[in-house]
Structure 1
Amino acid sequence: MNQPDARAIDCTNAQPQPVSFRQAFAFWFKLGFISFGGPAGQISLMHQELVVNRRWISERRFLHALNYCMLLPGPEAQQLATYIGWLMHRTWGGIVAGALFVLPSLLILIALSWVYIAFGNLPLVAGLFYGVKPAVTAIVAQATYRIGSRVLKNNVLWGIAAASFVAIFALNVPFPAIVAAAAIIGYLGGRIAPDKFKAGGGHGKADKSFGPALIDDDTPTPEHAHFRWGKLVKMAVVGGLLWAVPMGLLNAIYGWHHTFTQMGWFFTKAALLTFGGAYAVLPYVYQGAVENYGWLTPTQMIDGLALGETTPGPLIMVVAFVGFVGGYVKVLFGPDSLFLAGAVAATLVTWFTFLHSFLFILAGGPLVESTHGDLKFTAPLTAITAAVVGVILNLALFFLYHVLWPQGFAGTFDWISAVIALAAAVALFRFKRNVIEVIAACAAVGLILKTLIL
């Protein structure tokens, strides 16, 4: 039997060196450009880098933070980065970690959105999107299955999912109303039949150790992470001002009904409804951005999701695409400043979408740090997540309809898109290929078909 390398043992057991703010900044900057793969891939990447490779934080403390982040509305991976950054380097550490998780994606999406809206009719761009749209349909179907298989563990939760699907598909019930109803059902059901509401997602207790960590299981809570009511009130006031001041300025300068003001208000509401991840809130974004405000078309919404899937950062960053297209097509700064209008709108909606994520971590983190190992999912969250499955199924059918019947049911059936969607589904479900690989392959197929065959 081979003996283990003594140097490896010593390296594993050695206490990691303290991490400076500059070193942490470099890591979070790098993470912002490589955080592909959606929340599962992003969390896995952070676990590998921070727990296994660098040992900045122990397995147990990492999962404790993640459990809290998964309770919150908003992108859990970005919030987890914010939490760990805050734990290591106080408030500015959290702000830097969370902002750098989002900023690269925002800049990339602004550039891609401009290429899309300004040059979308060019054969090259049109061909790429022809192949990507069916892939997006398969990706959303996979998200429905993935969340459903994790959550729907009994007939009660299946019933909630089915009811939410009927509500949004057949009755056009607003997404916030579905979330509220599910939360009430979960609250009451958790008291009447608690065993039926234990199937929510989450992460169990840690059972692994990768050696001593800077923030280890028994590391005392740092001074800045102790809970104090004064700090909580201060953070709430600062957060309220960071929302109220820009919203007040938009209202004072442009008026309540202006596109900028309505975008700020709409995406504030959307940000607080992102239980279950970005796919859950997309139907609400569609209802508002496409049907109510007319900021973009159904086809553009599908294309925006495709762009969001191919860029680093949280998928909810698709809101930057929605904002850019809305600001661009509404000609908010005149015909000579279309790009500027789109970029400002994208930045605004990103601000109002992600502000609450920072506040939840910076305000709630000290309370969570005092409850190691005690945080559990609540019955209302379990019910909400079950309802989300039905909502995402509706989204998958919406995309399928617009991809396979681009001119409506009265038009022709696009059998080539159907074949691409089927192939993408097989790649995702049967061969477990990642999203980036599937999108790249489908984009190449679409480009070949549009430029050489069709």
Structure 2
Amino acid sequence: MTSLRELTQVFGRIGLFSFGGPAAQIALMHRELVETRPWLTEAQFLRALSFCMMLPGPEAMQLATYSGWRLRGIPGGLIAGGLFVLPGAIVIFALAWIYAHFGGVPLVQAIFLGVKATVVVIVLQAILKVAKKALKARSDIGIAIVSFVALFFFNTPFPLLIAAAALYGALATRARPTDGQKPVLSLGRTLRILAIGGVIWAAPLALAALLGQEFLLSLGLFFSKLAVVTFGGAYSVLAYMTQEVVTGFNWLSTDQMMDALGLAETTPGPLILVTQFVGHLAGNAQGQFVLAGLMSLWVTFVPCFIWIFAGAPLIDWLEHQPRISGALHAITAAVVGVIANLSIWFAAHVFFGDITKIDTGFLSFILPQITTFQPIAAILAAFAALLLLRLKWDMVLVLAIMAVLGLGLGVANLVCPLFTGVESFMLAALSKEPPGERYDRLWQSHASRHAWTDQAGP
């Protein structure tokens, strides 16, 4: 039997080096658990991965939890899943604190420009990966298109979209006869774990309610709801989360939400740690920086342990439920449209300085103002696309390079507004203002921001 000490050492190392998103994290676990150590067979690993991909939440973290559970039961699952999340959570805490205190510094904002331009490409890369896996038939493509249109043009609630996709997938799938005897379902054990896990999940929410902490209660309830509908990874719910966090609760601004996603991409562990970052920033405005981050972390990841401990013994049973598989496949197809909507929203806010919300009562969508196009952001994104999509460089390395480039441009703009002049001539083609007049106006704005009032031009 694998000792808890050895299990802790291995999963601690996996947690520290789990950069690069789910694909890289799953490959790392395969090397550690199947190739290097005979802890799981290839068949066990693949079946567990398929099961985790059907669940809401980060599949790589849940795969780690399942692996620990299979080796040493619930204690092993808690250790493996906890260590997968802990290093990234510590880094997010530090980054959120720095951002809360120094995020408004111009050079820090310049760094974020490079990061956000890269995230545009990362989200595009996610669409390509998910589409390749999910869109296998014309009906899948149709689901993805309907999903995108419903979100982008009609502002359809994300949970409703997921429920509709699941219902369609279940009804469209034909029940087929199964070979052999169906596994016996231990309903009592499953319900017992769900009940105990539900109490643990809800404990901080109940405490917040008893103490009259309305903000913490609202935060916890929102991210609890998010944890139930996070099918297809973090990208699938980011647009919904952003809409609620920015316009529904007014906890963060749009720029802060985009910076949160950019920073979450640079840390080890699952991308859904962005919820912790959002919690910290929202709590900072309420004087509850630490408590809000802990609440977000708790209600986001405790459900992941519940799904695994309650559902892992049911893997064999689920293989005999074609309608459940059909529902989950339809959800995955819908996620392609969800991520496409996110990519357009994110790119619009990175590449344009002003976004108009069109709301006719029937249609509701965003429309960027073409005259506020940001060419420097577009150039940075194009360079990031070259490194990521063409040259296949590591994502974390590209994020670091683009952050340095963004910083360099920020320093250059502080010393000499060269790029302000470049932008003025590029944008002149999009507006009626003559390039020279636009350049003079932008120079005066730049000089006044840096107290260079004795200088009228270069």
TM-score (norm: length of structure 2): 0.82
Contact 1:428 1:434 in 2 (8 A): yes
Residue in 2 that maps onto 1:246: 204
Matched residues in 1 for 2:319 and 2:306: separation? 22
Q: Counterparts in 2 of 1:260-409, with a 5 A limit?
A: 260-329=216-285, 331=286, 333=287, 341-368=288-315, 378-408=325-355, 409=368
Deviation at 1:437, TM superposition (A): 1.9
Q: Which moved more, 1:148-157 or 1:381-390?
A: 148-157
Residue in 1 that maps onto 2:112: 129
Contact 2:2 2:72 in 1 (8 A): no
Residue 161 to residue 351, structure 1, CA distance change in 2 (3 Å): same
Contact 1:74 1:277 in 2 (8 A): yes
Matched residues in 1 for 2:189 and 2:78: separation? 16
Deviation at 1:319, TM superposition (A): 0.4
Q: Which moved more, 1:55-64 or 1:406-415?
A: 406-415
Give the number of the structure with larger relative contact order, counting CA–CA contacts within 8 Å between residues 6 or more apart: 1
Residue in 2 that maps onto 1:24: 7
Q: Counterparts in 2 of 1:48-197, with a 5 A limit?
A: 48-191=31-174
Residue in 2 that maps onto 1:436: 396
Give the partner amino acid of 1:359.
I
Deviation at 1:230, TM superposition (A): 4.2
Deviation at 1:100, TM superposition (A): 1.0
Deviation at 1:122, TM superposition (A): 2.4
Contact 1:123 1:451 in 2 (8 A): no
Deviation at 1:426, TM superposition (A): 2.3
Residue in 2 that maps onto 1:201: none
Deviation at 1:151, TM superposition (A): 1.4
Contact 1:106 1:317 in 2 (8 A): yes
Measured against aligned partners, the alpha-carbon deviations of 1:87-138 in whole angstroms (never above 9, x if no partner) come to 1111111011111111111111011011112101224422211211111111
Unpaired runs of 5+ residues, structure 1, are 1-17, 195-225, 334-340
Matched residues in 2 for 1:94 and 1:25: separation? 10
Residue 49 to residue 125, structure 1, CA distance change in 2 (3 Å): same
Contact 1:78 1:314 in 2 (8 A): yes
Give the partner amino acid of 2:28.
L
SS of residue in 2 equivalent to 1:276: coil
RMSD in angstroms over aligned alpha carbons?
Answer: 2.0
Residue in 1 that maps onto 2:386: 426
Contact 2:121 2:381 in 1 (8 A): yes
Contact 2:145 2:337 in 1 (8 A): yes
SS of residue in 2 equivalent to 1:380: helix
Q: Which moved more, 1:258-267 or 1:232-241?
A: 232-241
Matched residues in 1 for 2:246 and 2:318: separation? 43
Residue in 2 that maps onto 1:412: 372
Matched residues in 2 for 1:435 and 1:227: separation? 42
Give the partner amino acid of 2:56.
P
Matched residues in 2 for 1:262 and 1:230: separation? 32
TM-score (norm: length of structure 1): 0.83
Identity %, equivalent residues: 44
Unpaired runs of 5+ residues, structure 2, are 177-183, 356-367, 418-458
Deviation at 1:452, TM superposition (A): 2.5
Give the partner amino acid of 1:116.
Y
Deviation at 1:142, TM superposition (A): 1.1
Matched residues in 2 for 1:294 and 1:314: separation? 25
How many residue pairs get aligned? The number is: 393
Matched residues in 2 for 1:63 and 1:325: separation? 38
Contact 1:64 1:373 in 2 (8 A): no
